[in-house]
Amino acid sequence: MSNTDWMPRRREDQLAMARTWIAVLPSLQHLLGVTDAEISELEDLAEDAEKAQIEWQKNPGDRVLAARAREAFGRMVTYMRTLRRRRFFNTPLQPSQWLSLNLEPPDTTRTDHIHVSEEVDFVLEIEGTRQVHIRFWQRGMAHMAKPTGYDGAVVDWGVFDEPPDGPHEMTGHEMASRTPHTLRFPEEERGKTVYVTLRWQNERGFTGPWSDMKSTIIP
């Protein structure tokens, strides 16, 4: 398996990959089961990301525009990761078809990684209003990188008056592909307690054990 994430790091490259998928996926719908609605959703997300990036580039010092661009690309990238996981492995694709999507063909000689044993450790940091930052890493490791071949960490959280019994009671769910990951809350939840727990998810969609649950007051 490759030691690098399949998702490009540069926004321009992420947008280029999204545009490639939009152009190529209609020809692969019969193989992958990708729906017209899913392609349309990706088109909308790519358009939003491109517009937000252009607006921010016109005013690079504007923190609001910068946040909008970051969030727009985050939504697009998260959707692409989900689409790949749910659809791209429904039936074997030829190497040329993977390459047409700007993706490297999977290593078919490896054993599928279905058991996720790695655990997440994390801290909750307060910076700004109505925001909680999650800085996470692999338990037992000194660096902040996610395990090789993983999409990231599943973040489950909820705002409760009393500690929940477990992750199954959480009401919010997000994929955190990079650290730190930011949770944003409405004004009416300021001063309340948010409870958070994480677990790793690999590229095949399998998840590992939940981390310890932690909490903080929403600023």
> What is the residue extent of each domain of the chain?
11-100, 120-217
- pTM, two decimals, is 0.52
What does the pLDDT read at residue 150?
84
Stretch 208-219: mean pLDDT, rounded? 94
In 88-153, which ranges are continuous DSSP H helix? Answer: 95-100
pLDDT per position as a tens digit, 162-185: 999 888 889 888 889 889 999 999
Show the tokens assigned to 72. 């727009």
Stretch 41-55: mean pLDDT, rounded? 96
What's the CA gap between 162 and 95, in Å, rounded? 52
Contact 211, 185 (CB under 8 A): no
The residue to which tokens 């990959």 are assigned: 17
What does the pLDDT read at residue 111?
47
Is residue 9 over pLDDT 70?
yes
What's the CA gap between 201 and 155, in Å, rounded? 10
Out of 34-48, 104-118, 119-133, 184-198, which region has the weakest mean confidence (pLDDT)?
Answer: 104-118
Stretch 62-87: mean pLDDT, rounded? 91
Contacts (Cβ under 8 Å, ≥6 apart) of 208:
116, 117, 118, 119, 120, 199, 200, 201
Is residue 81 over pLDDT 50?
yes
pLDDT per position as a tens digit, 97-107: 999 999 988 76
pLDDT per position as a tens digit, 119-159: 999 999 998 899 999 999 998 887 777 787 788 899 999 99
Is residue 91 over pLDDT 90?
no
Q: Which CATH superfamily is domain 120-217 in?
A: Immunoglobulins (2.60.40.10)
What does the pLDDT read at residue 2?
38
